[in-house]
Amino acid sequence: MSAVTISHNPLLKGSGLPPFTEIQPEQVVPAFNQLLEELDQQLTTLEANLQPTWSGLVEPLEKLTERLNWSWGIVNHLMGVKNSPELREAFETVQPQVVQFVNKLGQSQPIYNAFKQLRASDNWTSLESAQQRIVEAAIRDAELSGVGLQGEARERYNAIQMELAELSTKFSNHTLDATKAFSLTLTTKEEIDGLPNSLLSLAAQAARAAGEENATPENGPWRITLDFPSYGPFMQHSTRRDLREKLYKAYITRAASGDLDNNPLIERILQLRQELSDLLGFQNFAELSLASKMAPNVEAVEALLEELRSASYDAAVKDLDALKAFAASKEAAEAQDLQHWDISFWAERQREEKFAFTAEELRPYFPLPQVLDGLFGLVKRLFGVTVTPADGQAPIWHEDVRYFQIADETGSPIAYFYLDPYSRPAEKRGGAWMDTCISRGKIAENGVSAIRLPVAYLVCNQTPPVDGKPSLMTFDEVETLFHEFGHGLHHMLTKVDYTGAAGINNVEWDAVELPSQFMENWCYERPTLFGMAKHYETGEPLPEHYYQKLLAARNYMSGSATLRQIHFSSVDLELHYRYHPGSNETAADVRHRLAKTTTVLPPLPEDSFLCAFGHIFAGGYAAGYYSYKWAEVLSADAFAAFEEAGLENEEAIKATGKRYRDTVLALGGSKHPMEVFQSFRGREPSTVSLLKHNGLLAIAS
């Protein structure tokens, strides 16, 4: 590779919007070879010239880490949205070197000592709270990165981090490949009985993509996959119990056997996390994980989970009994012996009858462009900001990706975001997420300082436009979009000018879901819902009776939904707190043991859900899955502030919205989340609002 090509390598640009249209997998390795060499030299120079001051320590260090974050962030992002064998190979080649450099940086004794000197110096009191929190976090992170380890212990720590990074990538790839590997091709009308048109269109499109050129929604063949927009509706609507069983069993055994088996990876990951905790002086990984979270200790987390478990368990038992009775009333053969593959199907039938609407009937009222209008209308109303399309102003990684600008009351731009809405199972991982593209920060160039505006990635996996229709969303997909946009607002509406505490940076992990879950509540609020729910062909608003049914159905089976989250959270915590890898119990055994008190329909013996539990084995939720519930207590209580102010009172909504924007969204990681919450709410959070919103309060009393 000649020097000329390297100097033009788009991954070495180092700042600004990523030049997605120019980036090729073969540029990754040369870019990182050069970048890491330069950063290594910069680190050596920095260590030799450190001053224990903000400008002599934090600023130069931030410049250095930002170059790495910029380039590595792009590669990570592309792994999630444009995965390919070539990109994977490049990623796996450079990942060990990146981990090595991150360890070296995290364990730099000179930098750690300088941070401690800064904290002990006379300058300390003159720093703003955001700056102090950044310094405190840097000291804590260095300690959690093994800065205090010497010799063999440090070498072992680094080797563990390296192996964990590789295992996490492998876990994720296995899940993606296993999801992709299975499909069910249906060819007869009997096999598609009960399936909605939206799914038949998607399944015919999948069949065409797989080489069946003449596949049509009417005559097939139809290809059903384990990708959620295909799997979910099939489980809800297919009348063919045998096919539901087949699909369900394929889904719960993903990545659990053969070349893609994640079981050995799980045991190894848990083993290494325990060893890591031992090295750093913690009894287990849960304690290590909580050292940087909002929850004070494992006991506090377990107490919350138990409070929610006991409030939801009996409700979940009643849900299942009601479902059995309903199936019996329809003279279903399986009524007395409902299995996992029957639950979605009968829950959907019961919901249709109880509330007289189907999830499918609502789709035509939620075309993506209108949902976006409704979402943007809401944030204008609550926070006074305006969202407008800025397509064409930023390079994109796929033609379906959109780019938007957010402006404040004066019309000045304050942030931007990409939206990648549709499912692309061949190259994009499942789920939905918000990620940081660029963080807000004060930057000085040639003596002139300016504010760099934040940019976010919002990624969903909803039903793509099919056969000339726009993307027609299920109400669940609408809620997901609002959720991710809440994360986006947290990142984009920050007022903090120090990158290390701007937006979601330096926000404790179990508080980070507050703004996202908060936004979901608005999907049910009348002006918001009617602002977006209009039929895509006729423009007619959603009929009132549907709205009333949506409200009535909101807490349908909410005991079961809550219990499900408690199950995941408890399993995660137990695996990282009491479980000893290599003992006479496996991780799967732990899950089946806990299922006795956290599920009402025990998982099948072959259920290998953990093998696809990417949140805790390939994402950042290890010993932190409880964060969803912890933050939901905060978000429900935050929304209750708007309810108390009066949702009909526009002035009160504006005033409360401004207070929320100025605290929860603006303060980012500059203050402790409890302090941020109290500055918005005027008191500590309470679980009452959450139990009330979920319709579980009466049961809890």
pLDDT (tens digit per residue) in 583-635: 999 999 999 999 999 999 999 999 999 999 999 999 889 999 999 999 999 99
Count Cβ atoms below 10 Å from residue 701 Cβ, excluding itself.
Answer: 7
Q: What is the mean pLDDT of the chain?
A: 95
Q: Which two tokens stand for residue 578?
A: 């009491």
One-letter amino acid for residue 137 of the chain: A
pTM: 0.89
Q: Is residue 174 in some structural domain? A: no
Q: Tell me the CATH number at 604.
A: 1.10.1370.10
Contacts of 210-217 with C-beta under 8 Å, sequence gap 24+, read 210/183, 217/467
Number of domains in the chain: 3
Nearest C-alpha neighbor of 496 from the set 133, 140, 72: 133
Helix (H, G, I), strand (E, B) or coil at 333: coil
Confidence at residue 335, expressed as pLDDT on a 0 to 100 scale: 94
Q: Is 326 a residue whose pLDDT tops 50?
A: yes
Q: Is 701 a residue whose pLDDT tops 70?
A: no
Taking phi over 0 as left and psi of -120 to 50 as alpha, with beta for the rest, 607 belongs to: beta
**Alpha carbon distances (Å) from 497 to 85, 384, 486, 624:** 39, 20, 20, 28
Q: Is 266 a residue whose pLDDT tops 50?
A: yes
Q: Last residue of some domain: 622, 643, 668?
A: 622
Confidence grade of residue 7 (pLDDT, cut at 50, 70, 90): low
Whether residue 130 is found in the same domain as residue 8: yes
Whether residue 286 is found in the same domain as residue 332: yes
Q: Is residue 608 in some structural domain? A: yes
Whether residue 68 is found in the same domain as residue 142: yes
Confidence at residue 2, expressed as pLDDT on a 0 to 100 scale: 41
455 and 401 Cβ atoms separated by less than 8 Å:
no
Q: Is residue 226 in some structural domain? A: yes
Whether residue 136 is found in the same domain as residue 244: no
Q: Tell me the CATH number at 130.
A: 1.20.1050.40
Q: Is 226 a residue whose pLDDT tops 90?
A: yes
Q: Is 463 a residue whose pLDDT tops 90?
A: no
Min mean pLDDT across 38-42, 123-127, 697-701 is at 697-701
Residue with the two structure tokens 């499918």: 360
Q: Is residue 84 in some structural domain? A: yes
pLDDT in tens, 549-568: 999 899 899 999 999 999 99
66 CA to centre of own chain = 22
244 and 342 Cβ atoms separated by less than 8 Å:
yes
Q: Tell me how far apart the alpha carbons of residues 434 and 504 are, in angstroms, rounded to a whole number.
A: 11
Min mean pLDDT across 135-144, 314-323, 421-430 is at 421-430
Q: Tell me how far apart the alpha carbons of residues 163 and 159 are, in angstroms, rounded to a whole number.
A: 6
311 CA to centre of own chain = 26
| Exposure letters 378-404 (e unless 16+ CB within 10 A, then b) | bbebbbebbbeebeeebebbeeebbbb
Over residues 156-180, the mean pLDDT reads 96
Whether residue 243 is found in the same domain as residue 298: no
Tell me the β-bridge partners of 434: 458
Element (H, E) at 443: strand 441-445
Q: Is residue 700 in some structural domain? A: no
Q: Which two tokens stand for residue 307?
A: 């409070």
Q: Last residue of some domain: 576, 598, 622?
A: 622
Residue with the two structure tokens 């009937």: 361
Whether residue 245 is found in the same domain as residue 282: no
Whether residue 235 is found in the same domain as residue 298: no
The DSSP annotation for 205-267 comes to HHHHHTT-TT-BTTTB-EEEESSHHHHHHHHHH---HHHHHHHHHHHHTTTSSGGG--HHHHH
Q: Is residue 373 in some structural domain? A: no
One-letter amino acid for residue 317 of the chain: V
Nearest C-alpha neighbor of 576 from the set 271, 264, 170: 271
Terminal Cα distance for the chain, rounded: 70
Whether residue 142 is found in the same domain as residue 208: no
Q: Is 3 a residue whose pLDDT tops 60?
A: no
Taking phi over 0 as left and psi of -120 to 50 as alpha, with beta for the rest, 357 belongs to: beta
56 CA to centre of own chain = 36
Query: Which DSSP category does 664 fall into?
Result: I
Which residues fall within 8 angstroms of residue 473, CB to CB, at 6 or more apart? Answer: 363, 366, 367, 368, 371, 462, 463, 481
Which residues fall within 8 angstroms of residue 135, CB to CB, at 6 or more apart? Answer: 58, 115, 118, 119, 127
Interior angle at CA 83, CA 167 and CA 178, nearest 5: 60
pLDDT in tens, 636-685: 999 999 999 999 999 999 999 999 999 999 999 999 999 999 999 999 99
Q: Tell me how far apart the alpha carbons of residues 110 and 675 are, in angstroms, rounded to a whole number.
A: 32
Whether residue 250 is found in the same domain as residue 285: no
Full residue range of the structural domain in which residue 196 is found: 182-254
Over residues 199-228, the mean pLDDT reads 95
Q: Last residue of some domain: 622, 652, 676?
A: 622
Q: Is residue 263 in some structural domain? A: no
Q: Tell me how far apart the alpha carbons of residues 455 and 437 are, in angstroms, rounded to a whole number.
A: 5
Whether residue 124 is found in the same domain as residue 21: yes
Whether residue 195 is found in the same domain as residue 245: yes
Q: Is 81 a residue whose pLDDT tops 50?
A: yes
263 and 273 Cβ atoms separated by less than 8 Å:
no
Q: Is residue 493 in some structural domain? A: no
Confidence grade of residue 466 (pLDDT, cut at 50, 70, 90): confident
Nearest C-alpha neighbor of 30 from the set 58, 7, 60, 63: 7
Query: Which DSSP category does 612 fall into?
Result: G
CA dihedral 288, 294, 295, 297 (to 10 degrees): 40
Catalytic (active-site) positions:
484
**Alpha carbon distances (Å) from 10 to 15, 35, 74, 162:** 10, 12, 11, 26
Task: Say what percent of the chain tops pLDDT 90.
Answer: 92
Whether residue 10 is found in the same domain as residue 141: yes
